């Protein structure tokens, strides 16, 4: 049994990670452990670069906190101004002792009422809860689920990005090993 440490206690991120590993690397069985670690970026990252850095930092910090695992996964949601609108997405980083994989979710645009609150300093989940009169939506369907009527929910959105981040592990003969973790 392989151990995955998800750098979050959010059940949505844990389920998306397990779904992706079970679909992509199905020759193994997995157990997920969670750890809450800092991203090293703003609570609401405001660019793609800041968001991927947060995902990488989370995965690396999880590896420091729980070094005995086989994989460490960081998932960071972010937003970015695009032609006057606010785009939402997430980056995923998957680490093993000798590989790094990265994937990004699809992108969707937020309604102006949500975008306005984020521009005023709110985090996306908090802004969603205020605009849509919800409670803790980021641990459920999230903005994407609310806005699509759950045609796409947060688990599905993240799952695809985790699958994309697992490409170097699935097709490892095409990817070089990396030495990011000091023994």
Per-residue pLDDT tens listing for the chain (183 residues): 999 999 999 999 999 999 999 999 999 999 999 999 999 999 999 999 999 999 999 999 999 999 999 999 999 999 999 999 999 999 999 999 999 999 999 999 999 999 999 999 999 999 999 999 988 777 778 899 999 999 999 999 999 999 999 999 999 989 888 766 554
What fold does the segment set 2-107+152-174 form as a domain? Maf protein (3.90.950)
Predicted pLDDT of residue 140: 79
Element (H, E) at 34: strand 30-34
Contacts of 47 (CB under 8 A, 6+ apart): 78, 80
Size of the chain in residues: 183
Query: pTM for the complete prediction?
Result: 0.93
Assign 47 to helix, strand or coil.
Answer: coil
Element (H, E) at 104: strand 100-104
Would you kindly state where each structural domain of the chain is located, as residue ranges?
Answer: 2-107+152-174
Alpha helices in 34-165 (DSSP H): 48-65, 112-119, 124-132, 142-148, 154-165
Q: What is the pLDDT of residue 183?
A: 45
Q: What is the pLDDT of residue 141?
A: 85
Measured between alpha carbons, how far is 145 from 82 in angstroms, rounded to an integer?
21
DSSP 8-class letter at 179: -
Rounded to an integer, what distance in angstroms lies between the CA atom of residue 89 and that of residue 154? 10
Give the pLDDT confidence score for residue 176 in this predicted structure.
80
pLDDT on residue 137: 78
Q: Could you give the CA distance from residue 125 to residue 76 in angstroms, rounded to a whole number?
A: 12
Q: Which two tokens stand for residue 72?
A: 């460490």
């Amino acid at each position: 049994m392989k151990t995955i440490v998800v750098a979050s206690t959010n059940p949505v991120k844990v389920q998306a990670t397990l779904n992706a590993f079970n679909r992509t690397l199905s020759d193994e069985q997995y157990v997920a452990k969670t750890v809450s670690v800092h991203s090293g970026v703003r609570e609401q990252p405001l660019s793609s670069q800041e968001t991927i850095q947060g995902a990488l930092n989370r995965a690396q910090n999880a590896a420091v906190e729980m070094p005995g695992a086989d994989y460490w996964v960081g998932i960071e949601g972010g937003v970015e101004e695009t032609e006057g609108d606010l785009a939402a997405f997430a980056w995923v980083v998957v680490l093993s002792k000798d590989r790094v994989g990265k994937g990004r979710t699809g992108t969707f645009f937020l309604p102006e009422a949500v975008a306005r609150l984020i521009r005023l300093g709110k985090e996306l989940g908090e802004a969603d809860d205020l605009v849509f009169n919800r409670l803790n939506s980021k641990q459920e369907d999230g903005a994407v689920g609310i806005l699509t009527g759950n045609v796409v929910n947060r688990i599905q959105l993240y799952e695809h990005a985790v699958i994309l981040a697992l490409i170097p592990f699935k097709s490892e003969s095409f990817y070089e090993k990396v030495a990011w973790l000091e023994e």
